[in-house]
Each structure stands twice: as C-alpha cells, then as structure tokens.
Amino acid sequence: MNARERLIVGLDVPTLGEAEQIVSTLGDDIVFFKIGYQLVFAGGLEFARDLAQSGKKIFLDMKLLDIDNTVASGVENIVKMGMSMLTLHAYPKAMKAAVEAAKGSELCLLGVTVLTSMDEQDLIAAGYEYDPHTLVLRRAEQALLAGMGGVVCSAEESAAVRKIVGPGMAIVTPGIRPAGSERGDQKRVMTPADALKAGSSHLVVARPIVKAPDPKEAARAILAEMEAAL
C-alpha cells in the first residue's frame, strides 16, 4: 500500500455541509475517510453510502458492542452499505459474532483495544485491572483469535501489537499528530512517520487536516511525510 491507501481522514465535523466541503477540497488526494458518531447522527450514514458508491473507501467508526445477535445483524447491514472498515469494541463474543456475520465480504473488522484518550488513571476509574499497554495487548490477541481484520490502538503500542498479530492484520492508529500540532484530548499520540515505522498500517488524522487553514496542503504534507517513512 502507498501513503494514499494508508491515510484515513476523519470527517469529525458537525454537519454534512462541512463534510462535503472537506471531501471536495481534498479531491483525489484522499481516497479514505472516517465517519463516526458526530456525523452519523447528522445524516452521515447516507453520506457514507454515497461516498462508497463514488469510489471512496469508508471507515465507519461505530465501536459496536451489544448482544451477539444485535452485533451480527448490524454488521450484516453495514456489509450491504459497501463500507471498507468497521470498528467494534474488542470483546471476544462481540468480535466472534461480527466475524461470522461479515464472512465472505470485503469488510475489514477492527477491534478497538483502548481509546487513545484514556490513560492508566482513566482505566482504573472505569474499573479495569490492567494498565493501557497490557489491556491493548490482551485485546489484540483476542482479536487475532476471533479472526478480525485488524485492531485500533495507539501508535505507542503498534510495535508490540504487530509482534502479536503478525504482518497480515491491519493496525489502525488514531491520535496521529504532525510535529508541532496540538494534542487536543488525545493522551497517547505519535507523528505519522514514527507511527508507520512502529508498525501501524493505517493512520487516522482528523483535526490536523480538517481544522487546518488549508486542508489540502495539510493533507499533502502528511502524505509526503508518510511516503518518506515508507
């Protein structure tokens, strides 16, 4: 894969109008977009389907978690939408149900290990007995055993996760920040070049591109950094 196939631009904006403008501005430079809760609840599902039909790749970031039958039913319909990637929380039963539902399709299922906005104190407050690194590795191993297409983790854990899942699974890393950019609410971040060198296969970048004065130039700079690293 080249840099264009590895860079996923997060359409983390409140309205369809803004999302459409970003996609138009970025043009052919960007082929992969992430659509999450914010845009989904503003009509983003139809937009995601339209983008997929136009030839773009869509990472639907829904972080599904429910009883097995509900997860499976949701995944079956998402397959029909033509999405390229879908997230669900990396709970073993949910992952197994999703894998069975997506069997035979091209949908890449991603297990979310630990959110990049969470650190050790956040996990303790949530009742977990593991530190972030340990929990990420445990869930990565469970995702591998379940037959998932990949995992979502911080780039800080990419190298360790790659040793567990091997070369075949996707490692998608949010919390990517070019040198000099603000962290925002992310606590475990890394630059694009360092993330690729650590073992990440796909990088999710939102604010550094969509909030930039010139989104197209910001995207091209990140792509250039990625190409140099590759």
How many domains is the chain partitioned into structurally?
1
Of the candidates 36, 78, 83, which has an alpha carbon nearest to the alpha carbon of residue 56? 83
Known catalytic membership, residue 80: no
pLDDT given for residue 187 in this prediction: 52
Task: Note down pLDDT in tens along the chain; length 230 residues.
Answer: 899 999 999 999 999 999 999 999 999 999 999 999 999 999 999 999 999 999 999 999 999 999 999 999 999 999 999 999 999 999 999 999 999 999 999 999 999 998 878 889 999 999 998 898 999 999 999 999 999 999 999 888 999 999 999 999 999 999 888 865 665 555 556 899 999 999 999 999 999 999 999 999 999 999 999 999 98
Known catalytic membership, residue 66: yes
Angstrom distance (rounded) from CA 139 to CA 147: 12
pLDDT given for residue 36 in this prediction: 96
Which residues participate in the annotated binding site for substrate?
12, 34, 61-70, 116, 177, 186, 206-207
The dihedral built from the CA positions of residue 61, 67, 73 and 79, taken in this order, carries a sign that is: positive
pLDDT given for residue 116 in this prediction: 77
Q: Which residue range(s) make up the domain with 99? A: 3-229
Of the candidates 208, 138, 146, 196, which has an alpha carbon nearest to the alpha carbon of residue 171? 196
Say which CATH number the domain at 181 has: 3.20.20.70
What the block records as the tokens of 125 is 């407050």
Q: Select which of 28, 56, 57, 61 is catalytic.
A: 61
Q: Select which of 56, 63, 197, 216 is catalytic.
A: 63
pLDDT given for residue 60 in this prediction: 98
pLDDT given for residue 119 in this prediction: 85
pLDDT given for residue 189 in this prediction: 67
Known catalytic membership, residue 96: no
Which residues participate in the annotated binding site?
12, 34, 61-70, 116, 177, 186, 206-207
